Amino acid sequence: MYSRCPHCEHQQTVSTAQLREGRGLLRCRYCANTFDALASLSDEKDETIVLPLDIGLPFDGVAPVRPVRRIWRVANLCVLSLLLLQAVYFERDRWSSVAQAAGFRLPGYYDPAQWSLSHGELRRAGDSHYVFEAVLTNQASIGQSFPALKLTLTDFNGVAVAERIFDASLIGAGELAAGQSQSVHLALIVRRDDIGGFIHSLI
């Protein structure tokens, strides 16, 4: 025989011995709630069970109630999760502050707009060798992972002649605390003699 738990809609097998032992009450194997197994007793698996409608109002006969299908619960959960994700994503700065204040953190907070690069300088350090130096400041109200740096070298007419993206791991290890600055020192080899300037951006 089968019986359906009214709390989670899960159908499970039940024997006469179990019914006798529990005096008709059964503990759900899925949600652990105890329920009246006799109310939804059935001989066939997955049969739609008709439960009496208990609304305390007089009515003729027994109104059939379709159990809430589990798929709707899953769909509702999905929608709720999406809303939560949106809330976290669009207000991640504030959420991260809250999380940090509470003693834990959201992993890898990072917003390229909250970094500033100043004192950028490109100098020649030998034949084909250049060094790019700058100061990177975290302007966010919380610590964040280092950004990657895109450096474009130009000739004396401002025309881009070389470009390189420095991975975040080359800029700094881990995270930089809120309001802190760190100097950046990057060595690069450029086999050109006409480097006249540079453009940088954080990505």
Instruction: Give the interface with Zn ion as residue ranges (CB under 5 A).
Output: 5, 7-8, 10, 28, 30-31
DSSP labels, 17-34: HHHHHTTTEEE-TTT--E
Contact, 135 vs 118, CB < 8 A? yes
Shortest separation between residue 69's beta carbon and Zn ion, angstroms = 14
Given the complex with Zn ion, which of 8 and 131 has the nearer CB atom? 8
Shortest separation between residue 33's beta carbon and Zn ion, angstroms = 5
Given the complex with Zn ion, which of 31 and 75 has the nearer CB atom? 31
Helices (H) and strands (E) in the chain, counts: 4, 12
Q: How many CB atoms lie within 10 A of CB 190?
A: 16
Given the complex with Zn ion, which of 74 and 106 has the nearer CB atom? 74
SS3 of residue 122 by DSSP: strand
Shortest separation between residue 6's beta carbon and Zn ion, angstroms = 8
Given the complex with Zn ion, which of 11 and 145 has the nearer CB atom? 11
Given the complex with Zn ion, which of 7 and 45 has the nearer CB atom? 7
Shortest separation between residue 36's beta carbon and Zn ion, angstroms = 12
Shortest separation between residue 3's beta carbon and Zn ion, angstroms = 10
Smallest Cα–Cα separation from 87: which of 114, 115, 106, 112?
Answer: 106
Q: Give the Å distances, CA to CA, from 29 to 8, 33, 47, 203.
A: 10, 8, 19, 51
The residue whose two tokens read 């100097």 is 183
